[in-house]
Structure 1
Amino acid sequence: MSTHTNINMSTAVSNFAADLNSEPISFPNTDTSIKKSVLFVPLNEKWLLTIPEAAAYFGVGQNRISELALQDGCKFVVFVGAKKLIKRKKFEEFLDEQYAI
């Protein structure tokens, strides 16, 4: 018997977004009164997601997403240096294929 936890994804995504945008970024060697705010882009509109963003959006653990991204033939990951970025639409398609009923 499997147990599922119901997660309100909109709340999880909102909380995650609020954390990301809670404090404006100040840049070194600039006037301290000038701060640039990070623009908020909803996760469902981003093409590429970081591992923590993908975990919050899809409700899949960060470690599991990282493991899946390292598999041979993975079509939903982009590496920028050592950083893994997840192609949101391709990962959605992957999940649909894996868990189609």
Structure 2
Amino acid sequence: MENIKNESSRKSTGAIPVWRRYPLTIVEAAGYYHIGENKLRTLIDEHPNDDFCVMNGNRALIKREKFEGYLDQATAL
């Protein structure tokens, strides 16, 4: 029953669950991947040519699926 309430409230507010979003903010990605915000910012700075990040003004957004591909290939962070 609670699941139905959560789903209906999500639809009414227009909120998209994190696992369905295309871009994630640094804060959302840190919570979703259990990686610290500073580490994510460092990864973005160290890999400027990789395709898992897009800049929206001065805000860095992480492309969820491409970042998951990067994490699959990475041996260490």
Higher helix share: 2
User: Pick from 45, 48, 54: which aligns with 2:23?
Assistant: 48
Question: What corresponds to 1:60 in structure 2?
Answer: 35
Q: Percent identity?
A: 39
Task: Tell me how far apart the structure 2 counterparts of residues 38 and 64 of structure 1 sit (CA, whole Å).
Answer: 31
Residue pair 1:68, 1:74 contacting (<8 A) in 2 also: no
| Offset at residue 75 of structure 1 (A) | 1.4
Q: How many residues align?
A: 64
Task: Give the residue type in structure 1 aligned to 2:36.
Answer: G
TM-score when scaled to structure 1? Answer: 0.58
* SS at 2:66 equivalent: helix
TM-score (norm. length: structure 2): 0.75
Choose 1 or 2 for highest CA Rg. 1
CA distance in 2, matches of 1:82, 1:74: 18
The aligned counterpart of 1:74 is 50
Unaligned runs of 5+ in 2: 1-11
| Larger RCO (CA under 8 A, 6+ residues apart) | 2
Aligned-residue CA RMSD in angstroms? 1.7
Q: Any unmatched runs of 5+ in structure 1?
A: 1-36
